[in-house]
Every structure is written in structure tokens, then in C-alpha cells.
């Protein structure tokens, strides 16, 4: 991959890696009396490894000019591999966390293995490691194909991909060391947050520059969703993480907000992170790969645009439904509830658009497990968005909030929607990226599909049952007006469901391991002869030299 960079680009990469290494060294020296020193050391090691890789190939010959007539896919290939590695890590920790709730002694008396540190490592591993790398890889693939334009340069894609993974490493290693700002889905401290801002701005600029070079008159709908994902996540991240560090040599910072304003900002971020990271980006993925795999045009282009603007406008105001029955003003809670209910309309428009696209192609769904991944994802997208609107209603929320019902709802979306559409996209993308006729084993794709479906159903049904029973036990009163059940009695009643959750998560993890093996074997397989590639990757039209 480095050989595809020009000598000038390798020098630029070397300078950037050197600056990152120096930044890590400065952070380590400043934080020598703090856990921050370990984070600085990690940055130094990361930067040094990139420098070594570049130095080993610094004097390699210049790449052929003919490369400019092709799309630039090296970062996408690397992103696919990183996606699967993060999937294994994040899902393994997830199964461990689930098992901890059934068997608390699995911490082995180690502080780093406590629930409070493993849980954010799991969420960061799957959301940002697995999901984020998948979004970066697929967005760079989609924007080139739909714009018929090569990425504008060969350095910034690597800066975005490697810089983003450095952020993920800082976050996860920080949790194990006890570094956290204790904000849901935004646990990394100030130095990691600042680094992500730099990387994300570079990502947005890369995407816009590619679109500006497009040879197509219009911007395909998938790019609308990807752009919303990149732009709004930047806004959310910056506002929610406004904080004042204790000192330049201290990992700790204090939020710029306080009290209920801090809570409102956090859940404005939290809900919109679900909206624009876990929904808009993956809708972009769906709108490209599902029609591509089904070999049918999207059912309604107009409906997809209407859905885009509906989701973009309505989601922004729905976050306050996370704070029902709190100190937040009542009208703000009602506003969030109302927008959440109306949000069902554009959400179901996208789910229906996906399923209607499959009309006339259901025989392919029957025979092709990759397309079945996408079909199941669309179904779970419809189910989880309906459930989200339902749970936002104040009366329902009084039963569901703080119970495992919420956990079941989140995982119906995470496993059934996000992970399923990602695996479907990767199984479509991997053979194309490595010039293979198909995946190494279609049987293993089937195995992965059924492991994922069985795991998701066990997990979600266990949590739905557990949550509803929890909520009912907590609100049951005896004739004297006293609570009938103590908290510990509700906890004991949950034990079988927590075991079932672990089993469901284990099935899903096994599926991911099978999928990773299948992808790696596909990469190792013999490539297609050159003359057969045009038919196999029908959407990849050649570029005009110089694009």
C-alpha cells in the first residue's frame, strides 16, 4: 500500500507521523506524574510504528501514472480489516460484560476488569471501532463510485483512517487505566477529544473535496446521509465535550456545563449520536449496497430524500425524552416526546423504501445470505424505530426507564440494524475490493447469518422480558402501600435472563468470528483474471485519466 504513495506523499506522511510522535512525547512529559503519561507513550509508539513503515519504503520506486485512472481503494481495504478486528474485540468484551452481570466474580479482583471499565470499552469498541471504521471505509467507497471521481489525494484518507483508530486506542486504553469523563458514549477525556476534532475536520474536507470533483450531475442520496453523519457528529462532539482541563499535565477535565444543563447537553449528544452516527451513516450504507446487491433501483428516490430531511430535522429535538421525570423543565420533556413520536414517519419511510426495493427480488433474498443480512437489517430498523418512539411516550417511559427494556431496545438497533447492514455491506464490498469473484465460502456467510439472527433474537427477547418484569416488580405495592418486592428480589429474578443474554451475545460473537475468517480467506484467495473484472464489478466504470 505504501508503494502506491508517491515519494513526496511518503515524505508528507513521515512529517505528519513525526508531529504525532512529538505530540505524544510532549503529553507524556507533561503528564509524567499522572496516568496521562501512559497515553502519551501510546501515541509515541503509534507514531513511531507509522514512521518505521514509511521509512522502510521511503526509497521505493514511484507508482505508475496509470493508478490515477482507477479509484483509490487502499485505505478502504485497510478499513475493512480494521472493522473486523474491532468487531471481534468489542463483541468479546460485550459477552464478558454480559457474563459479569450473571457471574460478578468474573472481574478476577482486577480493577481494569471491573464492570465500569469494561462496559465503555465494549461500547467504544463496537460503536466507534467496528461501526466507525465500517462507515469510513464504505463512505470512501460510495463517494468515489457515485461521483465517478477518485479521492483528491492519497495522504488525507490515511490520516483520517489511522488518526481515527489512534483516537479509539486512546479511548479504550484510557478506560482500562481508569480515565473517563463519565459521559455516555463520550467517555474519552479532553486530549483525545481534541485529537478527534482534527481528524474529523480532515474527514469532512476529504468528503467535500471528492464531491466537488464529481463527474455526475447530481449527488446520490447515500452521500446526503454520509455528509449528515460527518457534519452533525462534528457539531455534537465539539459541543458536548466543551470542558476545562485541570492542567496540561492532567488527564482530568471538568465539563463547561453543570447540573441539568449538563444532563440536557449530554442527552442531546447521546440521542443524536444514535441518530447521525448509528442511523444516518448506516442509512447511507443501505441506500447504496442494498440496491446494488439486489440489482434493482431504489424503490423511491424521492421518498429517500423526504426521509432524509425528516430525520435530519426531527431527530435534533428528541434527546430530552431521555430525561423524563427529572429536573428538566416539563415542557422540554414534552417537546422531546412529541418529536420522538413524529420521527416514526421518516424512519419508517426509509425502512419501507428498503423493503419495497426488494419487490421482484425476493428469490435472491431466499438464496443470498448477504442480501438477507440487509433485508433483516431493514426489518430491525423499522422495529427499533417504532419501539424508540413508543418508549419516548412519558407513560410508557415510566415503566421502561432504568430497566433492561432499554438495553433490549438499544441492542435491537445495534445488533439487528447496525451490525446486520454492516456485514451485508462488507460481504458485498470485500470481493470487489480484492478482485475476487465471490466470498471464499457462501456456506460460511450462511453460518454467520444464522448465528447473528439467533443471537439477536435470544438477546433482545431476554432483555424485553427482563425489563418489563423489572419495571412491574418495582411498581408493585401491597395493601399497606409498601413496595412488594425489594430491589435484591428483582435482581434475583433477572438472573436467568442475564444468562440468556450472555448466550445470545456469544452466538453473535461466534458469527463475527466466522465472518472475519471468511473475509481473511477471501483476501488470500486468487484474484479474478483481468478480463473478468468488469463484469464482476459492474458499477466500477473507468475514470478519465487525471480525475
Top mean pLDDT of 242-251, 494-503, 534-543 is at 494-503
Nearest to 452 by CA among 431, 424, 425, 494: 424
Predicted pLDDT at 502: 97
Distance CA 462, CA 499 (A): 9
Give residues with Cβ within 8 angstroms of 192, minimum separation 6: 39, 167, 170, 171, 174
Distance CA 498, CA 306 (A): 41
Instruction: Give tens-digit pLDDT for 38-49.
Output: 999 999 999 999
pLDDT at 400 over 60: yes
Backbone dihedral region of 203: left (phi > 0), alpha (psi from -120 to 50 degrees) or beta?
alpha
All 3 cell numbers of residue 241? 465535550
pLDDT at 376 over 90: yes
Predicted pLDDT at 248: 83
Q: What is the DSSP letter of 509?
A: H
Summarize the confidence of residues 293-313 as an average pLDDT. 93
Summarize the confidence of residues 145-156 as an average pLDDT. 94
pLDDT at 535 over 80: no
Instruction: Give tens-digit pLDDT for 161-175.
Output: 999 999 999 999 999
Predicted pLDDT at 531: 56
Distance CA 389, CA 340 (A): 5
Distance CA 527, CA 205 (A): 33
pLDDT band at 60 (very low <50, low <70, confident <90, very high): confident
In the numeric block, the cell 480467506 is attached to 521
Nearest to 347 by CA among 448, 436, 279: 279
Distance CA 505, CA 452 (A): 9
pLDDT at 536 over 70: no
CB atoms under 10 Å from CB of 491, counted, come to: 14
Distance CA 281, CA 286 (A): 9
Give residues with Cβ within 8 angstroms of 270, minimum separation 6: 184, 185, 186, 319, 322
**pTM confidence score:** 0.93
DSSP string, 369-385: HHHHHHHHHHHHHHHHH
Cα distances (angstroms) measured from residue 517 to each of 125, 165, 525? 19, 22, 12
pLDDT band at 69 (very low <50, low <70, confident <90, very high): confident
All 3 cell numbers of residue 196? 478527534
255 has which bridge partners? 243
How much of the chain exceeds pLDDT 70, in percent? 96
pLDDT at 294 over 50: yes
Nearest to 294 by CA among 374, 381, 224: 374
Instruction: Give tens-digit pLDDT for 259-284.
Output: 999 999 999 999 999 989 999 999 99
pLDDT at 542 over 70: no
Q: Contact 388/340 with Cβ under 8 angstroms?
A: yes
Predicted pLDDT at 540: 54
In the numeric block, the cell 424521492 is attached to 302
Instruction: Give tens-digit pLDDT for 426-465.
Output: 999 999 999 998 899 999 999 999 999 999 999 999 999 9
The dihedral through the CA atoms of 322, 274, 389, 90 has a sign that is negative
pLDDT at 545 over 50: no
pLDDT at 539 over 80: no
Distance CA 502, CA 94 (A): 9
Distance CA 445, CA 115 (A): 33
Summarize the confidence of residues 282-291 as an average pLDDT. 95
pLDDT at 93 over 70: yes
Distance CA 209, CA 405 (A): 43
All 3 cell numbers of residue 407? 438495553
Predicted pLDDT at 332: 94
Task: Provide, for the chain, the percentages of residues in helix, strand and coil under a 3-state DSSP scheme, each rounded to the nearest 5.
Answer: 75, 0, 25
Cα distances (angstroms) measured from residue 138 to each of 33, 248, 520? 42, 37, 18
pLDDT band at 66 (very low <50, low <70, confident <90, very high): confident
Predicted pLDDT at 547: 37
In the numeric block, the cell 433483516 is attached to 376
pLDDT band at 529 (very low <50, low <70, confident <90, very high): low
The dihedral through the CA atoms of 213, 218, 220, 225 has a sign that is positive
Nearest to 70 by CA among 166, 156, 154: 154
The per-residue pLDDT of the chain, averaged, comes to: 92
Predicted pLDDT at 541: 52
Amino acid at each position: 500500500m505504501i508503494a502506491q504513495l508517491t515519494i513526496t506523499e511518503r515524505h508528507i506522511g513521515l512529517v505528519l507521523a513525526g508531529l504525532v510522535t512529538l505530540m505524544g512525547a510532549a503529553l507524556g512529559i507533561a503528564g509524567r506524574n499522572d496516568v496521562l503519561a501512559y497515553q502519551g507513550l501510546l501515541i509515541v509508539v503509534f507514531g513511531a510504528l507509522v514512521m518505521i513503515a514509511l521509512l522502510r519504503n521511503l526509497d521505493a520506486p514511484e507508482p505508475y501514472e496509470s493508478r490515477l485512472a482507477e479509484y483509490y481503494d487502499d485505505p478502504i481495504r485497510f478499513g475493512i480489516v480494521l472493522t473486523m478486528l474491532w468487531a471481534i474485540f468489542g463483541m468479546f468484551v460485550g459477552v464478558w460484560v454480559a457474563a459479569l452481570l450473571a457471574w460478578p466474580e468474573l472481574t478476577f479482583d482486577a480493577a481494569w476488569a471491573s464492570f465500569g471499565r469494561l462496559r465503555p470499552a465494549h461500547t467504544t469498541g463496537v460503536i466507534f471501532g467496528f461501526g466507525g471504521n465500517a462507515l469510513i471505509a464504505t463512505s470512501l467507497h460510495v463517494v468515489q463510485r457515485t461521483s465517478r471521481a477518485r479521492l483528491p489525494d492519497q495522504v488525507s484518507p490515511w490520516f483520517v483512517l489511522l488518526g481515527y483508530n489512534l483516537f479509539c486506542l486512546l479511548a479504550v486504553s484510557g478506560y482500562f487505566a481508569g480515565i473517563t469523563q463519565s459521559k455516555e458514549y463520550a467517555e474519552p477525556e479532553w486530549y483525545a477529544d481534541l485529537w478527534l476534532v482534527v481528524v474529523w475536520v480532515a474527514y469532512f474536507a476529504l468528503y467535500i473535496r471528492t464531491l466537488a470533483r464529481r463527474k455526475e450531475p447530481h449527488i446520490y442520496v447515500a452521500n446526503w446521509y454520509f455528509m449528515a453523519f460527518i457534519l452533525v457528529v462534528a457539531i455534537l462532539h465539539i459541543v458536548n465535550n466543551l470542558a476545562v482541563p485541570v492542567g496540561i499535565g492532567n488527564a482530568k477535565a471538568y465539563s463547561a456545563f453543570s447540573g441539568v444543563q449538563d444532563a440536557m447537553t449530554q442527552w442531546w449528544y447521546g440521542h443524536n449520536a444514535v441518530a447521525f452516527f448509528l442511523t444516518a451513516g448506516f442509512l447511507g450504507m443501505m441506500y447504496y449496497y442494498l440496491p446494488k446487491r439486489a440489482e434493482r433501483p431504489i424503490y423511491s428516490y424521492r421518498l429517500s430524500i423526504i426521509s432524509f430531511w425528516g430525520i435530519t430535522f426531527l431527530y435534533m429535538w428528541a434527546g430530552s425524552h431521555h430525561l423524563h421525570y427529572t429536573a428538566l423543565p416539563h415542557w422540554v420533556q414534552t417537546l422531546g416526546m412529541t418529536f420522538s413520536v413524529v420521527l416514526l414517519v421518516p424512519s419508517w419511510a426509509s425502512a419501507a423504501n428498503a423493503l419495497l426495493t426488494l419487490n421482484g427480488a425476493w428469490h435472491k433474498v431466499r438464496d443470498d445470505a448477504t442480501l438477507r443480512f440487509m433485508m433483516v437489517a431493514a426489518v430491525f430498523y423499522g422495529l427499533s424505530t417504532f419501539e424508540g418512539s413508543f418508549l419516548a411516550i412519558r407513560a410508557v417511559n415510566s415503566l421502561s426507564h432504568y430497566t433492561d427494556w432499554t438495553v433490549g431496545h438499544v441492542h435491537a438497533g445495534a445488533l439487528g440494524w447496525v451490525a446486520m447492514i454492516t456485514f451485508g455491506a462488507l460481504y458485498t464490498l470485500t470481493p470487489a475490493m480484492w478482485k475476487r469473484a465471490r466470498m471464499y465460502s457462501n456456506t460460511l456467510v450462511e453460518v454467520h447469518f444464522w448465528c447473528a439472527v439467533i443471537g439477536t433474537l435470544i438477546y433482545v427477547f431476554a432483555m424485553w422480558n427482563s425489563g418489563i418484569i423489572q419495571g412491574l416488580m418495582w411498581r408493585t405495592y401491597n395493601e399497606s402501600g409498601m413496595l412488594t418486592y425489594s430491589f435484591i428480589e428483582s435482581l434475583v429474578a433477572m438472573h436467568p435472563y442475564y444468562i440468556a443474554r450472555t448466550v445470545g451475545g456469544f452466538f453473535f460473537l461466534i458469527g463475527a468470528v466466522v465472518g472475519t475468517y471468511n473475509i481473511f480467506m477471501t483476501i488470500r484467495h486468487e484474484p479474478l483474471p483481468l478480463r473478468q473484472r468488469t463484469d464482476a464489478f459492474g458499477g466500477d466504470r473507468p475514470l478519465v485519466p487525471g480525475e
